[in-house]
């Protein structure tokens, strides 16, 4: 029984050494993964990040004269997705990773080789991984070797990736599946491919018919193949494996829920409130007509005539009474504000529209970043775990390439965040500190005559955060140098005087 996190599905056949057995089991396994609850929620999270909200599917219905429910194509149906989720995810990613992740090691040669891996592409990879995990609850990353025989990392979309475990819940493989357009019989058709990765190799399968089954891909030059293949200058094919499944799963949280789930209902409510406020303003911009003695066929035509022609025909004893409607704008605006505050609160984000009382000190700014800081702390712990895995892979690759024996434990990873600050507030705080220090020093000097020199020096060093022992040593060296100079001058004078007496 292979186990997918949170779900138990019988994928034991995917661990078989027989390619035909694996191919027969792939179709069911992939289909189960596509239709799982977790993947459906992941797709929703990604859609909301791409501004594809539920409001875009909103439809308006009414009961006609025969009490039949019909869609109202004449009514205003504004569909405005408000990208709160996009903003909150981007806030989290950029707050955590806007500064490049850096590394520190004592060995300069080791650091120089590590920096080759921590390039701009690696920084982009980290942002994509955290972004994907935030939207989908988890994201997979994998290691591969590029043309210059160096390891690099890429994201494997978790919507098309799932793990395979054995009976003891140990990871034994990874399945990736994807669609690709290929030319067949002069036509471009979509073909589904699947890859099964284990500790030693990767095996390729293909499903050409949408309703068919996967089969072993015999068109590949080498199938299965090791994790890495290369050709040397003599044309010999070199093969090697990483020794482990080269995939890592970055979870967004323990439950692997997306950042959308706590706030989806609030965003949907905000979209509806804003959309129907726009609908009301458009539909009720004109008056409502109360018609007596209408000679038309039905009220549907009356609505169309009023909207299109601004004219309605009545009988001789009929009439038209014009009425206006007061739209509850204030109530809707209040509800929008309540929803927005809740979205930033439960989405643990920074609301840049907050005004406050105008006293924007650094304490106020820090308090506004408190929720975002908490969310970033949770993400950073899991990111560091992934970076530890990356460093193990990187160090193993460095040792292979340069015949060294470095250790990943010697690497220190630095993740530095930045927030907005009030520069004026910082200057004022520093000014107060300096003024306080000046008062303290004046007080020390005022009582210096009652203290010994060593105590006075210690107190002054404390104010400037200086090492008293180092300062004392420098003073002693200076006194020694000055004393040597004083002792030397009289000797020269005596020599001159002696010479004069001899003369």
* CA angle 372–158–100, rounded 5-degree value: 45
Asked if 307 and 339 sit in the same domain, the reply is yes
**Omega before residue 224 within 30° of 0, cis:** yes
Whether 325 shows a pLDDT value over 70: the answer reads no
The fraction of the chain above a pLDDT of 90, given in percent, is 45
Q: Domain range for residue 175?
A: 1-35+138-251
In a domain, 311, yes or no: yes
Judge if pTM exceeds 0.85: no
Give per-residue pLDDT as tens, 433-476. 777 878 888 888 888 887 887 888 888 888 877 887 887 787 77
Q: 162: helix, coil or strand?
A: strand
Of the two residues 182 and 242, the one the predictor is more confident about is: 242
Residue 324: what pLDDT? 55
pLDDT confidence bin for 502, thresholds 50/70/90: very low
Give per-residue pLDDT as tens, 247-304. 999 999 999 999 999 999 999 999 999 988 888 777 765 555 555 655 555 556 656 6
Asked if 354 and 270 sit in the same domain, the reply is yes
Whether 45 shows a pLDDT value over 60: the answer reads yes
Task: Tell me the pLDDT of the chain averaged across its residues.
Answer: 82
In a domain, 446, yes or no: yes
Q: 220: helix, coil or strand?
A: coil
Asked if 143 and 30 sit in the same domain, the reply is yes
In a domain, 436, yes or no: no
Give how many domains the chain has, as a whole number: 3
Mean pLDDT of 418-438: 69
Whether 376 shows a pLDDT value over 80: the answer reads yes
Conformation bin of residue 358: beta by default, left when phi > 0, alpha when psi is -120 to 50 = left
The fraction of the chain above a pLDDT of 70, given in percent, is 79
Residue 254: what pLDDT? 92
pLDDT confidence bin for 5, thresholds 50/70/90: very low
CA distance 476 to 470: 10
Element (H, E) at 96: helix 84-97
β-strand pairing of 7-8 with 3-4: antiparallel
Residue 306: what pLDDT? 58
Residue 84: what pLDDT? 95
DSSP single-letter state for residue 236: P
Asked if 210 and 246 sit in the same domain, the reply is yes
Of the two residues 330 and 97, the one the predictor is more confident about is: 97
Whether 92 shows a pLDDT value over 90: the answer reads yes
Mean pLDDT of 405-421: 86
Asked if 150 and 25 sit in the same domain, the reply is yes
Asked if 190 and 271 sit in the same domain, the reply is no
Asked if 30 and 142 sit in the same domain, the reply is yes
Whether residue 323 contacts residue 116, with contact meaning beta carbons closer than 8 Å, is answered with no
pLDDT confidence bin for 366, thresholds 50/70/90: confident
In a domain, 493, yes or no: yes
Domain final residue, candidates 335, 360, 385:
360
Residue 423: what pLDDT? 58
Give per-residue pLDDT as tens, 188-240. 888 899 999 999 999 999 988 877 889 998 888 888 899 988 776 776 777 88
Residue 4: what pLDDT? 42
Asked if 244 and 306 sit in the same domain, the reply is no
Mean pLDDT of 402-417: 93
Residue 317: what pLDDT? 62
Whether residue 245 contacts residue 197, with contact meaning beta carbons closer than 8 Å, is answered with yes
In a domain, 3, yes or no: yes
Of the two residues 268 and 315, the one the predictor is more confident about is: 268
Range of 308-312, 343-347, 472-476 with top mean pLDDT: 343-347
Nearest in space to 200 (alpha carbons), one of 164, 220, 173, 178: 173
Asked if 154 and 282 sit in the same domain, the reply is no
302 contacts: CB under 8 Å, gap ≥ 6: 289, 291, 294, 296, 312
Residue 115: what pLDDT? 93
pLDDT confidence bin for 327, thresholds 50/70/90: low
User: Distance from CA of residue 3 to its chain's centroid?
Assistant: 27
Give per-residue pLDDT as tens, 135-180. 999 999 999 998 888 999 999 999 999 999 888 888 889 999 999 8
Of the two residues 301 and 408, the one the predictor is more confident about is: 408
In a domain, 176, yes or no: yes
Asked if 217 and 305 sit in the same domain, the reply is no
- H helical segments located in 403-467: 423-446, 453-463
pLDDT confidence bin for 427, thresholds 50/70/90: low
Domain final residue, candidates 224, 251, 278:
251
Asked if 2 and 149 sit in the same domain, the reply is yes
Mean pLDDT of 376-382: 94
Domain final residue, candidates 303, 336, 360:
360
Residue 239: what pLDDT? 86
Give per-residue pLDDT as tens, 168-179. 888 889 999 999
204 contacts: CB under 8 Å, gap ≥ 6: 193, 194, 195, 216, 217, 220, 223, 224
Asked if 275 and 234 sit in the same domain, the reply is no
In a domain, 452, yes or no: yes
In a domain, 236, yes or no: yes
Whether 491 shows a pLDDT value over 50: the answer reads no
Nearest in space to 22 (alpha carbons), one of 139, 177, 178: 177
């Amino acid at each position: 029984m292979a186990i997918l996190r949170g779900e138990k599905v019988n994928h034991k056949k995917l661990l078989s050494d027989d390619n035909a057995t694996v191919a027969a089991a792939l179709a069911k396994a992939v289909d189960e993964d596509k239709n799982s609850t977790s993947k459906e929620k992941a797709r929703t999270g990604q859609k909301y990040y791409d501004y594809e909200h539920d409001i875009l599917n909103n439809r308006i219905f009414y009961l006609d004269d025969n009490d039949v429910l019909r869609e109202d194509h004449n009514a205003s149906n504004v569909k405005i997705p408000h990208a709160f989720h996009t903003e909150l995810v981007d806030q989290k990613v950029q707050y955590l990773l806007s500064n490049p992740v850096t590394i520190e090691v004592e060995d300069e040669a080791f650091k120089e080789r590590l920096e080759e891996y921590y390039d701009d592409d690696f920084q982009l990879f980290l942002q994509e991984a955290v972004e994907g995990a935030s939207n989908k609850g988890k994201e997979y990353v994998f290691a591969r070797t590029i043309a210059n025989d160096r390891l690099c990392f890429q994201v494997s979309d978790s919507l098309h990736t799932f793990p395979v475990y054995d009976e003891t819940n140990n990871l034994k493989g990874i399945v990736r599946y994807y669609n690709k357009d290929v030319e067949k019989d002069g036509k471009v058709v979509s073909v589904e491919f699947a890859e099964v990765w284990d500790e030693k190799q990767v095996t390729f399968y293909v499903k050409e018919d949408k309703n068919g089954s996967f089969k072993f891909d015999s068109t590949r030059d080498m199938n299965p193949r090791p994790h890495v293949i290369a050709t040397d200058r003599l044309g010999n094919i070199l093969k090697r494996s990483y020794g482990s499944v080269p995939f890592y799963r970055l979870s967004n949280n323990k439950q692997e829920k997306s950042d959308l789930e706590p706030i989806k209902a609030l965003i949907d409510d905000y979209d509806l409130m804003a959309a129907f406020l726009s609908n009301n303003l458009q539909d009720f911009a004109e008056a409502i007509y109360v018609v007596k003695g209408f000679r038309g066929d039905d009220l549907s035509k009356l609505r169309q005539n009023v909207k299109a022609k601004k004219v309605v025909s009545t009988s001789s004893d009929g009439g038209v009474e014009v009425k206006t409607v007061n739209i509850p704008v204030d109530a809707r605006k209040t509800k929008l504000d309540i929803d927005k505050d809740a979205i930033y609160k439960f989405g643990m984000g920074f609301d840049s529209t907050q005004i406050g009382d105008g006293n924007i000190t650094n304490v106020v700014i820090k308090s506004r970043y408190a929720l975002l800081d908490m969310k970033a702390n949770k993400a950073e712990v899991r990111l560091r775990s992934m970076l530890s895995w990356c460093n193990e892979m990187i160090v193993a690759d460095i040792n292979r390439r340069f015949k060294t024996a470095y250790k990943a434990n010697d690497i220190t990873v630095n993740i530095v965040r930045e927030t907005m600050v009030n520069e004026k507030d910082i200057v004022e705080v520093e000014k107060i500190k300096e003024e306080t220090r000046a008062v303290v020093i004046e007080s020390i000097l005022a009582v210096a005559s009652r203290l010994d020199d060593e105590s006075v020096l210690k107190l002054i060093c404390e104010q400037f955060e200086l090492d008293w022992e180092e300062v004392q040593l420098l003073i002693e060296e200076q006194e020694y140098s000055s004393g040597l100079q004083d002792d030397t001058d009289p000797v020269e004078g005596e020599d001159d005087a002696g010479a004069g007496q001899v003369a």
